[in-house]
Each structure stands twice: as C-alpha cells, then as structure tokens.
C-alpha cells in the first residue's frame, strides 16, 4: 500500500539535498559519452547550452562532490574531464587541486587520469553540445568543468 506517513513526504533516500530534481532527472537521462558542464557564475550559460539549471547558491566543489558518487566517468576516452585553459601568465588555479582530489575519491572505474585543458572558445563549443549545463554562483577563476558520462557497471 502506497501511503504517506503522517508528517513525512514521499522521498528518495540518500540523494543529497543540493541536487535539484531536474538535475537528477537529466543525469538519469544522459547516455554514454554525454557531457555535463558545471559552470561558474560568469559562464555564458544561456548562450552556450541546450538545457541549463541555475544553482546560484551552490559552489562547484560541493556540487561536484554530490554528483560524482552517482556519475560514472567515461573510461573509453583519454580525457573524461575537461577544464578551461588558463593563460600562461596567470597564477596556478587552486580549485583544480580540489577537483582532482574529489575525482580520485569517487572515480570507481579509474577513468580519470588527468585533465584535458581547452581554450576558452573550444570549451564554449563543447558546452553547447552538453546534455546539461549547471550554472553555479561560484566565483573561482577557471572553475568550469566538463564531465563525460561513462558506462555504469
């Protein structure tokens, strides 16, 4: 019998509260080799996406940590994780170390070996082909990240 317990909503278990229902739906709809982009606050998401979810109060590392346990990376490609290339004269991007730690922690298939760095305009082109772009309120420089979905085994 499917009844609601008094005072409780019918909910799924163990889904982090940071993940909005639309994002969970899109992640489940994605097929092998589809892209998911997690973008910073300055990313031109409306101009470079088919589907976009705004999460202005989210920071990219916390969102990445919520997504990765559910999101297999594509181990059929050399670079399932892509970043926007910084300019040579700019300082080191510290958030990339955080991404690397999270990827190593949650990549059960060992698909992630190293990042591929894309020129800004090439990054935008890949984002246009992404299944979904999540635009956060994160203001970290070069915080944008592309994840390519793999096979869930």
pLDDT of residue 143: 96
Q: Which of 22, 32, 122, 129 is catalytic?
A: 32
Q: Work out whether strand 132-136 and strand 35-39 pair parallel, antiparallel, or are unpaired.
A: parallel
Stretch 97-108: mean pLDDT: 97
pLDDT of residue 14: 87
Q: Which of 74, 79, 107, 131 is catalytic?
A: 74
Whole-Å CA distances, 62 to 17, 19, 33, 57, 66: 11, 10, 23, 11, 6
> Would the pLDDT of 153 be above 90?
no
Q: Which of 31, 40, 77, 83 is nearest to 59 (CA)?
A: 40
pLDDT tens per residue, range 108-135: 999 999 999 999 999 999 999 999 999 9
Share of the chain above pLDDT 90, in %: 88
Q: How many residues does the chain have?
A: 153
Residue 48 annotated among the catalytic residues of the structure: no
Q: Is the pTM of this model over 0.85?
A: yes
Q: Which of 124, 131, 138, 142 is catalytic?
A: 124
Contact 76, 109 (CB under 8 A): no
Residue 124 annotated among the catalytic residues of the structure: yes
Q: Which distant-in-sequence residues (6+ apart) come within 8 Å of 19 by Cβ?
A: 66, 67
> Would the pLDDT of 12 be above 80?
no
Q: Which distant-in-sequence residues (6+ apart) come within 8 Å of 1 by Cβ?
A: none
Distance CA 74, CA 94 (A): 25
pLDDT of residue 2: 53
Quick one: pLDDT band at residue 7, thresholds 50, 70, 90? low
Residue 110 annotated among the catalytic residues of the structure: no
Q: Which distant-in-sequence residues (6+ apart) come within 8 Å of 71 by Cβ?
A: 27, 36, 147, 149
pLDDT tens per residue, range 49-92: 999 999 999 999 999 999 999 999 999 999 999 999 999 999 99
pLDDT of residue 28: 94
Q: Which domains does the chain carry? A: 21-148 (3.40.1650.10)
């Amino acid at each position: 019998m499917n009844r609601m317990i008094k005072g409780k909503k019918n909910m799924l278990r163990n889904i982090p509260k940071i993940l909005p229902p639309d994002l969970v739906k899109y992640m489940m709809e994605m097929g092998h080799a589809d892209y998911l982009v997690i973008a910073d606050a300055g990313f031109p998401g409306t101009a470079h996406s088919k589907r976009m979810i705004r999460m202005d109060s989210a920071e990219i590392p916390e969102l990445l940590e919520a997504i990765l346990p559910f999101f297999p990376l594509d181990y059929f490609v050399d670079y399932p994780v892509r970043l926007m290339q910084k300019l040579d004269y700019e300082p080191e991007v510290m958030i990339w170390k955080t991404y690397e730690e999270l990827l190593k922690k949650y990549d059960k298939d060992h698909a992630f070996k190293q990042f591929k760095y894309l020129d800004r305009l090439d990054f935008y082109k890949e984002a246009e082909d992404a299944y979904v772009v999540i635009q956060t309120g994160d203001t970290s420089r070069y915080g944008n990240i592309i994840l390519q979905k793999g096979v869930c085994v």
